[in-house]
Structure 1
Amino acid sequence: MSRAPVTLGLLVVIWILGLTTGALLGGPSHEPASNASLGVPTVGDGHVWTLWTSGLFASGLGEYVLSSLVILAVGVPVEHRIGSRQFAIAGFVSQGAGAALALAVALLASTVPNSWGLELHGHLIEDPLPWVLGALLAATAAMHTLWRRRIRTLLLVILVTAALFAGHLQDLTRLSAALVGLLLGPVLFGRAARSPALGGTIRERRTLVALVVAASVIGPILAAFSPHAIGPLSALRELFDQVPYSPRELADVCADPALHDECRKGQQALRLSGIGPLVMNLMPSVLLLVGAEGLRRGRRAAWLLSVSGHLTLVVVATVSALVRITEQDETRSILYGIHRHSSVYMELAPLLALLAILVLLLSTRRLFDVRAAPATYRRVWLGTIAATGAALVAYLLLGSLLADGFDRDSGAGTLLRDAPRRLLPPVYLQLFEPPVLPLTSAATLLFEWIGVVVWAVFCVLMLRSFLAPPAGHDLGDERRVRELLHCPGGGSMSWMSTWAGNTYWFTADRQHAVAYRVHSGVALTTGDPIGDRASPAQAVDEFATFCLGNGWTPCFYSVGPDTAAIAREHGWSCLQVAEETIIELADLAFKGKKFQDVRTALNRAGKDGIEARWITFAEAPLSVREQIVDISEEWVADKGLPEMGFTLGGLAELSDPEVQLLLAVDQDNHVHAVTSWMPVYCDGTPVGLTLDFMRRRSDGFRAAMEFLIASAALSAQDQGLEFLSLSGAPLASADTASELDRGALDALLDLLGRTLEPVYGFRSLLAFKAKFQPRYRPVYMIFPDAAALPAIGVAVGRAYLPHLSLEDSGRLLTQLLRR
């Protein structure tokens, strides 16, 4: 804050002016003697200074408090980033030019016959946010591509939505100031800082389309709940006008033939009243919001849903406009119900907005090419049809039981005619006489909510279909991955890519492969790219492009320093998530004081008759396999929590015929401990082994692990292998990384590691491996966007503990609190 004198100075001025002028409680526009408010009348009277003075006042105490919070949250960091001089220029120019532009729009709107222009012409406003927003948009020119695009897109979508639907002069001024700041930024800062592209921009384009569609849906909803909305697209708020009659009063009105027209209008209004019709009228909007999420993920089905939905709305809006034009004496609207301020303008403006969204969707069709797996939408339609059938049957049966709760005979025939209408939003039924209307609470509940259930089921099923993995998995991919792991070979932990649960991506020439799995919209890789070591950067870039094309956030997990260096060159974030320990075998000899524990384990095993025996799980006798399973089950039960997966192998990974087991077995063929070792190849030649599975009996030979690892090292040395990897210890670090490798977020992972230590013991595991005097190699997680960390955290958690139940979560929390 000490580096934001302009922001803090203006904030002090705002509060001093509010206190000294008495505007704190009502704003200057409520003070007859004040000429500080912005408006067409004040500027028309020659008070040009109001272009700037309006930014030093607010319209009431609540607005003063909220504006102050925004100024502190936005102004302080922006000024700190771009400097006080540039911040002052950006704020001054944005406020003045933005206010002038807003007044110009207001004058232009008032020249066309419409209620919006007339309203704007008489507004007087005071608002300190335009200059803050203008400075923020100007500052984006000095930001990197990701944050520049994010801030501009989100802020402009919000401001445009507010201007079109709320439509006050205040909303126009904020939007205008932001646009001025957007144009001013390149003048102040020149070209924006850019990082090399990694993965392309298809995700951003999809996100932009999804944001526009979502804003077009959310805007009418917000306007509907705002009684003071005046924007050109605010007509939807008229859906919720006060209803002139209760159901029983309306029944009396309709009993009089002379009041037929009044009866009809009352029925239309009543059908739109209450919570049930409100929710039902909003269900198409909810479905379009679900479609927007699918658009963000690039789903073809979401595009079809959005296009068909907007086509339907265009047809309904067109019919509504035609009805309004041809029946000038009526104040009814198919799309918006009965309202007091209906006009052709109110019908045509939403129609044009719907057409604009439809054109946008049609012009961006090629962006949405991600298809679901076979039978995905067969399940969606079958589920929806089943829900529809159940709802209609329930309406007929329960309606017959509640026959006295309706305003006229509600026999089976009447209910059967009315049943299909229960599935349509009431606002679309304005031209049709309702066969029945409910009178009692029970009948009202059935009448209004039976259709909501069907729409809700359809929305949930569609959302689930967008979250499901897309089609395209090739069963022959694993064979090709194994070929690449043999020649040219992979890294020390690349063999994990063969584990179940991974999906494989290949470069066009199939010389590189990446094993990954998708959780919560994040594509987590299992280690480094596999393949030709001469061009790993190409594989990283192409895989990132593939992920973004599918609507996923790419996250290379458990990768080495070489891949991390490539990511840094492209401006990605990098976090150390583990520490790998590697034993070099060339000159290995367990001599000296530092190997005292290892020599003790070897000597003690010899005295106790324990030997190390190599075997594969498939070749092991049934009795040995059962003992291995028993040891593993005991270990998991002792933890009291589910066994972790992803980069931590379990029993399922032991069945690989190329994975070798090293057992600690006594003279009675009793297994005391078991370890598994994954192969590492280079150009078809084995060069190392990597430790994965590691379990011992609680009552067995206590130094079994030291004995087995030492025995494996000596055996590998005899075979001429180069190294033995003891794999990575998650959330643990030997503090050997350079300052370049460490960032602020590492403190969070360090805290997480300390928190989980009492339960999973990752740091103790790293300390145990230190007995073998290994070489430390940091293991990283790299990702393009720090803002995606929450989703990445969820994805990593689900990858490691995919079957974690609510009970398991409670048990984990209990153990952490206890320890």
Structure 2
Amino acid sequence: MTQLPAESDRAAETWRPQPPLSRAAVARLVQLAGLYNVLTVVLPAPHGRLGELAGLLPMAGVLTARAATAASGLLLVYLGAGLRRGKRRAWQVAVVVAGGGVTLHLAQGWRLDAAAVSAALLVMLIVVRRRFQALADPVNRWRALLAFLGFAGAGFLLGLLEIAARANRLEGRPGVLAWAKEAALGLAGVSGPVRFVHPLGGEAVSYTTGMFGLLSVAVAVVLLLRPAHRLPQRTAEDDLIVRDLVRRHGGADSLGYFALRPDKSLLWAPSRRAVIAYRVVNGVSLASGDPIGMASQWPQTIAAWLRDCARHGWTPAVLGCGNAAGRAYRKAGLDVVELGDEAILEVASFGLDGRAMRGVRQAVARVRRAGYTCEVSRLRDLTPEALAEAKQAADAFRDGRVERGFSMALSRLGDPGDEDCLFVVGRDADGRIRGLLHYVPWGADGLSLDLMRGDRTAENGLTEFMVVTTMTAAPELGVRRISLNFAVLRSVFARADELGAGPVLRLSHHVLRAASRFWQIESLYRANAKYQPAWQPRYLCFPSVRELPRIAVAALSAEAFLPGAGRRPAPGPSAPLELSR
């Protein structure tokens, strides 16, 4: 690899694989101060201090201050993650919480030592303010405001109703305006102008309004700081350029065509001769595959993407890049580990002869004897009726209500711009569609599997029959290589049964087999290994080991393997079998 140009050198000034030590240290100190706040609430106040406050604050106000102190402590612990990423919004909230902590510590029991800690924390945050410049997401700002107004409004109305229900137990004859002042001030933990005949009624109103006040602030802050998704900003011109880059350079990466998904944002090299397709999920900027375009422009594209991550405080991560891209990302500062292997079938050398292909050969023969047939067509050659029938079958064979896939799936069928995509339809003896494969172009002479769905009630071996039919038709289509499914951590399964496999490898094998009960890990490996493919490694790129849990959650969310994640298609029947990238 050649030395990265000055563009990426400048990026190193704004992005580092790990947060600066001073920023990380600040985050830890803020979290420790938060834990200390919680501790001051748990421990009793110094002897006599509550008596000194009795003449200044009502007991409800003292109790509210204690609850607010505990909430602020937990909030400071929560803010640590945002501070480590340099989020400006997290710093602003931490300053407000630290400043308010001085008053809260005095109000909850005249704790001078704890107030001094909050004051010192406030001073420290102000001194290091220039280290927290990552931009906030404007979408969260409105959600936070709506949540705050919603919970605060609910607490206000509930407090007003409680006062109205005790209207005959109030001292004097306060009007509705006084009731409203009491409910509004109660949200902040302060007593208003209304006095109750029985103190228990006043405490009930104070607790109700105070709880909703704390809840509104806590929920608003969490929404304010929660990493949001960046909405894709793609123009029609961008899509045309990306499509042209895929056409001219897509032969280097079987995943290149999936950059045409409309839910991926684009980050360009200054020359616009290379681009990274990515999606922001829970504060992780998740790219997939190799950069698209000229390899000589990759360093500039990667540098621009990393600067964008630093500007917003996002964690950069790459799913499933190839060897050349992995080297480029590693040179830019990311760590690289093998994620798994991609199964590649070479048309010229593929055949059903030999003992290794016996299982596939028998499956194909069995399906043919059952009267099954297979149709192979480019999208451009399908009639509207045939396309509609294939799309209906794909919906019927979907496993669940969510459209899965992100890094290795197109998540659409029959788009006019995808005229080179290939449909392989398997029919039974009665002419009904019982299985479907969908491939996207891989350069000028390849195909990459996008979708594999089938009816579980169909004859066993239908998938093998469709794959073999694709390989048989490939020469006439000008195809010489086909990429099948990606096998996560394939080497673990392949080596676990070998002589000399160590305890770590065997343990990893058991863990993956357990995970395969929920996700298709081992089954995808076995399903592809039967074709005797060539295995091409794919890599995961990430900034630090500490970020791997967040990246894993973001990746599973993007691929729609977590509850509530993914895009839900139009209603339709579902079937139990789905093997897709």
| TM-score with structure 2 setting the length | 0.77
Match for residue 405 of structure 2?
A: 645
Amino acid at match of 1:754: R
Match for residue 636 of structure 1?
A: 399
2:384 counterpart of 1:384: no
Task: Give the alignment of 1:9-28 within 5 angstroms.
Answer: none
Contact 1:584 1:722 in 2 (8 A): yes
2:39 counterpart of 1:222: yes
| TM-superposed deviation, 1:521 | 3.0
User: How far apart in 2 are the matches of 1:634 and 1:664?
Assistant: 13
Match for residue 398 of structure 1?
A: 162
2:55 to 245, 253, 266: 266
Distance 1:364 1:484, change over 3 A: same
1:485 to 246, 250, 264: 246
User: How far apart in 2 are the matches of 1:267 and 1:410?
Assistant: 23
| TM-superposed deviation, 1:582 | 0.9
Match for residue 554 of structure 1?
A: 316
Distance 1:349 1:691, change over 3 A: closer
2:374 counterpart of 1:616: no
User: How far apart in 2 are the matches of 1:198 and 1:563?
Assistant: 22
Higher helix share: 1
Match for residue 544 of structure 2?
A: 785
Task: Give the alignment of 1:586-605 within 5 angstroms.
Answer: 586-596=348-358
CA deviation vs aligned residue, 1:227-260 (integer Å, no higher than 9, x gap): 6xxxxxxxxx66x96644xxxxxxxxxxxxxxxx
User: How far apart in 2 are the matches of 1:566 and 1:438?
Assistant: 75
Match for residue 209 of structure 2?
A: 450
Contact 1:495 1:679 in 2 (8 A): yes
| TM-superposed deviation, 1:218 | 4.3
| TM-superposed deviation, 1:630 | 3.3
Amino acid at match of 1:266: G
Distance 1:509 1:218, change over 3 A: farther
RMSD: 4.4
2:146 counterpart of 1:357: no
> Which has more radius of gyration?
1
User: How far apart in 2 are the matches of 1:594 and 1:769?
Assistant: 13
| TM-superposed deviation, 1:444 | 0.9
1:372 to 132, 138, 144: 138
Distance 1:578 1:455, change over 3 A: same
Q: What SS does the aligned partner of 1:652 have?
A: coil
Q: What SS does the aligned partner of 2:514 have?
A: helix
User: How far apart in 1 are the matches of 2:114 and 2:431?
Assistant: 87
Number of residue-to-residue matches in the alignment = 543
Amino acid at match of 2:471: A
Amino acid at match of 1:622: E
Distance 1:612 1:201, change over 3 A: closer
Amino acid at match of 1:804: P
Q: What SS does the aligned partner of 2:540 have?
A: strand
Match for residue 16 of structure 2?
A: 200
Q: What SS does the aligned partner of 2:135 have?
A: coil
Distance 1:653 1:197, change over 3 A: farther
User: How far apart in 1 are the matches of 2:542 and 2:402?
Assistant: 27
User: How far apart in 2 are the matches of 1:735 and 1:518?
Assistant: 33
Amino acid at match of 2:245: L
Match for residue 799 of structure 1?
A: 558
Q: What SS does the aligned partner of 2:318 have?
A: strand
Contact 1:396 1:416 in 2 (8 A): yes
CA deviation vs aligned residue, 1:119-161 (integer Å, no higher than 9, x gap): xxxxxxxxxxxxxxxxxxxxxxxxxxxxxxxxxxxxxxxxxxx
User: How far apart in 2 are the matches of 1:335 and 1:609?
Assistant: 77
| TM-superposed deviation, 1:542 | 4.6
User: How far apart in 1 are the matches of 2:424 and 2:445?
Assistant: 18
1:422 to 169, 172, 186: 186
Greater RCO, CA 8 A, separation 6+: 2
User: How far apart in 2 are the matches of 1:711 and 1:340?
Assistant: 80
Match for residue 465 of structure 2?
A: 707
Contact 1:482 1:498 in 2 (8 A): yes
| TM-superposed deviation, 1:295 | 4.1
Match for residue 148 of structure 1?
A: none
| TM-superposed deviation, 1:775 | 0.9
Contact 2:95 2:126 in 1 (8 A): yes
User: How far apart in 2 are the matches of 1:647 and 1:659?
Assistant: 17
Task: Give the alignment of 1:269-284 within 5 angstroms.
Answer: 270-274=59-63, 276-283=64-71
Distance 1:355 1:766, change over 3 A: closer
Distance 1:770 1:197, change over 3 A: farther
2:479 to 713, 721, 732: 721
Contact 2:374 2:469 in 1 (8 A): no
User: How far apart in 2 are the matches of 1:341 and 1:624?
Assistant: 73
Distance 1:746 1:439, change over 3 A: farther
User: How far apart in 1 are the matches of 2:111 and 2:297?
Assistant: 66
User: How far apart in 2 are the matches of 1:469 and 1:409?
Assistant: 50
Amino acid at match of 1:717: P
| TM-superposed deviation, 1:453 | 0.9
Match for residue 490 of structure 2?
A: 732
User: How far apart in 2 are the matches of 1:286 and 1:474?
Assistant: 36
Contact 2:86 2:134 in 1 (8 A): yes
Amino acid at match of 2:126: L
| TM-score with structure 1 setting the length | 0.57
User: How far apart in 1 are the matches of 2:23 and 2:529?
Assistant: 48
Amino acid at match of 2:187: L
Contiguous gaps of at least 5 residues in structure 1: 1-195, 228-236, 245-261, 318-333, 807-819
| TM-superposed deviation, 1:701 | 4.9
User: How far apart in 2 are the matches of 1:578 and 1:513?
Assistant: 24
| TM-superposed deviation, 1:689 | 0.7
Amino acid at match of 1:387: F
| TM-superposed deviation, 1:675 | 0.8
User: How far apart in 2 are the matches of 1:201 and 1:581?
Assistant: 31
Match for residue 459 of structure 1?
A: 218
CA deviation vs aligned residue, 1:262-317 (integer Å, no higher than 9, x gap): 9x95352624444x44214555555666655544454444444445566x649x87
Q: What SS does the aligned partner of 2:445 have?
A: strand
Contact 1:207 1:296 in 2 (8 A): yes
Task: Give the alignment of 1:324-363 within 5 angstroms.
Answer: 336-337=106-107, 351=119, 354-361=122-129, 363=130
Q: What SS does the aligned partner of 2:486 have?
A: strand
Amino acid at match of 2:316: P
User: How far apart in 1 are the matches of 2:174 and 2:409?
Assistant: 64
User: How far apart in 2 are the matches of 1:759 and 1:313?
Assistant: 46
Contact 1:516 1:526 in 2 (8 A): yes
Match for residue 449 of structure 2?
A: 691
Contact 1:384 1:458 in 2 (8 A): yes
Contact 2:159 2:208 in 1 (8 A): no
Distance 1:384 1:665, change over 3 A: same
User: How far apart in 2 are the matches of 1:485 and 1:748?
Assistant: 41
Residue identity (%): 22
Match for residue 439 of structure 2?
A: 677
